[in-house]
Amino acid sequence: MGEEKINVAIVGLGFGKEFIPIYQLHPNTNMYAICQRTKERLDEVGGQFGVAGRYTSFEDLIRDPRVDAVHINSPIHLHAPQSIAALRAGKHVACTVPAATSVDECREIVQAAEESGRNYMMMETAIYTREFLYIRELRESGRLGRIQFLRGCHQQEMAGWPGYWEGLPPMHYATHAVSPCLALVKGEADFVSCFGSGRIADHLAARYGSPFAVESALFKVRGQNLSFEVTRSLFETARQYVESFDVYGERTSFEWSRIEGEDPVIHIGEKPERVKVPDYARLLPAPIRRFTTKGVYDGEHAHLSFIQGGGHGGSHPHLVHEFVTSIIEKRPSFPDVYQSVNWTCAGICAHESAMQGGQIVKLPAFSSGVILSS
Ligand SMILES: NC(=O)c1ccc[n+]([C@@H]2O[C@H](COP(=O)([O-])OP(=O)(O)OC[C@H]3O[C@@H](n4cnc5c(N)ncnc54)[C@H](O)[C@@H]3O)[C@@H](O)[C@H]2O)c1
């Protein structure tokens, strides 16, 4: 890829901080600037990692012509407005999940990306975990045979997280469960029927007008003989954290382990077998390989999501590498803007369906293509 280097800025320094040393060591990036509102915390992180560019204002950051790309890790309701503003300012955008909170915001992201000609990538950790990369390899080798069904599940207890999480409709944060199903079959969700189940406390339900403890949905994949199922819970449902993905093939199936630390199972025909999933650091440039198994601040200082999500399956350096190489090679990222918003809209429309008692909701089509590249 040569010596070209792009200047990257990270916005939001909670989860966002995890990515600083990866950009510092990636051969094609300068970790140019960081941004968050509180000056004290900004300087603390800047000092810790030796990042000179510091902004307390997002608007000032995107006016800086030296910034080529921004990686947004701010609270959920800012993802879309900040992404749209950055694209319109001519920056490439990587944004943590979900891409947006409404269908209209998704539409605006697509429009801004198309008009600016810049890359937009939702930084979906679930499709760069070692488990996903392993399943993708099984698919590409032909071992799965015809894919018959897929299932994603993400159950997490979010009590005590920053206030904007409280009462969030479970399906408004569904991308970790939706994305692997669609990424594996290079597809988009077409329509959905979702049921809400159980009840959460009144004060939580009042926040977003969303009463359900669990939402479970069936999605149809556009243009393929496939459907997939997604289960989400966020509050008052007892369970160890799980972010899992199962795929049922004609010859081989893969089921994620249900308890952290256990190995997943592949079924060859009717015969189950536990497998050790390999690491895929070899796919990365040498300087960032260590980040598939090590966090940025290991031990007691690790970000809670990194601990709960088992280090997000080693996905962080893969995400950075895909975002950066897509810009340098002047090609769409995976996921590209259309896939990113479809995978986000899947959850938004699922919640809409749940609020209508399970009625089928059709997703808007943001792109004309049905089979998308990976
Ligand atoms: N596996 C994953 O993909 C994963 C895991 C964890 C978090 N996330 C996502 O990352 C996001 C951030 O998570 P977090 O736990 O760090 O959240 P947080 O609320 O703890 O931190 C948000 C950060 O954004 C900054 N910020 C807020 N408003 C800003 C503004 N206007 N301009 C610039 N900076 C601003 C805050 O100062 C803070 O540094 C969440 O939206 C979440 O969806 C994704």
With H, G, I as helix, E, B as strand and everything else as coil, classify residue 360.
coil
Nearest CA to ligand 1 atom 13: 15
Tens digits of residue pLDDT in 244-271 = 999 999 999 999 998 988 999 999 999 9
Whether the link from the prior residue into 364 is cis, omega within 30° of 0, is: no
Are 98 and 292 in contact by the 8 Å Cβ rule? The answer is no
User: Is it the case that residue 363 has pLDDT exceeding 60?
Assistant: yes
Give the max Cα distance, the chain.
59
Beta strands (DSSP E) in 14-119 are: 29-35, 53-55, 69-72, 92-95
Are 264 and 254 in contact by the 8 Å Cβ rule? The answer is yes
Distance of CA 345 to the CA centre of its chain: 13
pLDDT at 367: 74
Question: Given the CA of residue 173, which atom of ligand 1 is nearest to it?
Answer: 43
To test ligand 1's pocket by mutation, which of 73, 77, 179 has the most ligand atoms within 8 angstroms of CB?
Answer: 73
Six-digit token pair at 363? 């997703």
Percent of the chain's residues with pLDDT above 70:
94
Percent of the chain's residues with pLDDT above 90:
89
To test ligand 1's pocket by mutation, which of 96, 172, 241, 306 has the most ligand atoms within 8 angstroms of CB?
Answer: 96
Six-digit token pair at 280? 């895929």
Tens digits of residue pLDDT in 27-48 = 999 999 999 999 999 999 999 9
What's the CA gap between 297 and 22, in Å, rounded?
Answer: 12
Which amino acid is residue 150, in one-letter code?
L
Specify whether the backbone of 174 is left (phi greater than 0), alpha (psi in -120 to 50) or beta: alpha
Run of H or E including 198: none
Which amino acid is residue 153, in one-letter code?
C
- Ligand 1 proximal residues by C-beta, below 6 Å: 11-15, 35-38, 58, 73-76, 78, 96-97, 125, 162, 305, 309, 312
**Distant-in-sequence, close-in-space partners of 269: CB < 8 Å, separation ≥ 6:** 251
Question: Given the CA of residue 75, which atom of ligand 1 is nearest to it?
Answer: 41
Tens digits of residue pLDDT in 301-337 = 566 655 555 589 999 999 999 999 999 999 999 999 9
With H, G, I as helix, E, B as strand and everything else as coil, classify residue 121.
strand
* 196 C-alpha to ligand 1 centroid (Å): 27
Tens digits of residue pLDDT in 157-167 = 998 898 999 99
Instruction: Please state the rounded mean pLDDT for residues 75-88.
Output: 98
Q: Phi and psi dihedrals of 349, rounded to 5?
A: -70, -30
Q: Would you say the C-alpha torsion 53, 59, 60, 62 has a positive or negative sign?
A: positive
